[in-house]
Amino acid sequence: MRRRMVFSTLVVTVIAVMLLGLPLGALTYKLVHDEADRQLHSEAELIGAESDNMLELQGELDPAELGVEHPDRFMRITPPGDAPSATAGDPALNPVAPDAPSLLRATDTTSLGTVVEVWASADEVQRSVVRAWLGIASLSLLAIGVAVGLSMFQARRLTLPLVDLAATAERLGSGVTTPWGHRYGIPEADRVAEVLDRSAERIAGLIATERHFATDASHQLRTPLTALTMRLEEILAESANPDVVREEGEAALAQTERLVETVESLLGRARKSQNPEVEPVELDPVLNHLQAEWSPVFQQEQRDLIVTGDPGLTAITVPSDLAQILATLVENAYKHGAGTVTIRRVDAGQSVRVEVSDEGEGVPEHLSGRIFDREVSGDGGTGLGLALARHIAESEGARIELVQTRPTTFALFLPAGAGGLTKMTGPV
């Protein structure tokens, strides 16, 4: 492309120089010759005046004196009447001489009737024409050189953005999705660069979504699989007691159903096609189920999991998401905390607050401000659970906060049930 641009510019420039240079050269030739003819005619008039003056004063012509005054001319002077003609000047310029050069000729007739003919060499005129033509040719070559230089500069300016954009597209196709951010001062190229940068951002978002889905899925599926494994171990341990085996089998089936719900929820979020449908949810059954699920795990570590606070509360949320969020908070307290883990229900008027706290050393100060960031963990964890729990909560109008660092206390704030807080009667 660069060669074609330079070649086309060169062709256009040569044509333009020829269209201007050739007429200018012809005009220069005519002007130089016209000026030489005018000057020679003026000399003929002057020689005629001198000849008339000689004839009046001396009665005859003095060719030697005229030759001295005009040594580079050849003159033939014919007085009026029957007087003979006289010649003077350089005989080499005599037009009848065998080796006479190219000559210019001018004639003039004075008021007394004297006829003057003057010849001069045309070599100087030709040299003047050649010098003028050389000047025109030099300017033409300079114009062509400048045009070629500018065309090379412009071609480089126009082709480099294309090369850079091609490299950007190649980077994008190879999976490097960082926006390049280059701009070139060329509106068309800048628009293409902006489109590529936006495409890179969109592709990066898609890749990040897929990556987050994979990590979130692996993290969220771990808890139901752990509980399912635990139930299966209980079945094996109590295989002699049919009632216990049946009870543990039902618990394992419940965990399997929860696993299926978790997979469906994660797939819906990955496709961004599933909007959470919130509904009034009674907290007590969810918390009782969570306590029953996690108590065996805590008992193996000689720890307790207790549920306290205001019973009979109802919140606007998604049941499966609420279970996932609370399971994440309990698992976090189990792994990173110590002592008894307390789940506390609080009636906050227009909202419901569920607090999960433990008796461990607490959250380090340098992590308290980033505890909900992805891949931030203070004890070798994945750093995904709290970030995912907050994302799920915020997607349905709730929120999670770290309300206390020592002892560690997380609070889940949920909208209260329709028409305000709904109290449920009966035993907890």
CA distances from 273 to 218, 269, 335 (A): 21, 7, 33
Give the pLDDT band (50/70/90) at residue 103: confident
pLDDT digits (tens, 9 = 90+) for 339-364: 999 999 998 888 899 999 999 888 88
Question: Do the bridges between strand 351-357 and strand 409-415 make them parallel or antiparallel, or are there none, so unpaired?
Answer: antiparallel
With 0-12 / 13-18 / 19 or more C-beta atoms within 10 angstroms meaning exposed / middle / buried, residue 384 is: buried
Q: Degrees (nearest 5) of the Cα angle 395, 398, 403?
A: 130
**Predicted pLDDT at 396:** 81
Choice between 428 and 49, residue whose per-residue pLDDT is larger: 49
Q: What does DSSP assign to residue 334? A: H
Buried b (16+ CB within 10 A) or exposed e, 334-354: bebbeeebbbbbeeeeebbbb
**Predicted pLDDT at 426:** 36
Nearest Cα neighbor of 289 from 265, 334, 320 is 320
Q: Is a pLDDT exceeding 50 seen at residue 288?
A: yes
pLDDT digits (tens, 9 = 90+) for 175-190: 666 776 777 777 777 7
Give the pLDDT band (50/70/90) at residue 237: low
**Alpha-carbon radius of gyration of the chain:** 54
Show the tokens assigned to 110. 């004075």
Instruction: Find the farthest-apart pair of alpha carbons in the chain and give their distance in angstroms, rounded.
Output: 167
The mean-pLDDT minimum among 88-102, 194-208, 261-275, 313-327 falls in: 261-275
All domains of the chain, ordered by start, with CATH? 2-140 (3.30.450.250), 181-274 (1.10.287), 277-428 (3.30.565.10)
Amino acid identity of 188?
E
Average pLDDT over residues 154-160: 75
Show the tokens assigned to 70. 């005009």
Give the pLDDT band (50/70/90) at residue 422: very low
C-alpha atoms less than 13 angstroms from C-alpha of 5 in its C-beta half-sphere: 13
Strand partners, 108: 116
Choice between 99 and 319, residue whose per-residue pLDDT is larger: 319
CA–CA dist 397, 316 (Å, integer)? 9
pLDDT digits (tens, 9 = 90+) for 84-93: 888 888 888 8
% of the chain with per-residue pLDDT over 90: 13
**Predicted pLDDT at 420:** 41
CB-CB contact of 136 with 29 (8 Å): no
**Predicted pLDDT at 358:** 93
CA–CA dist 216, 18 (Å, integer)? 74
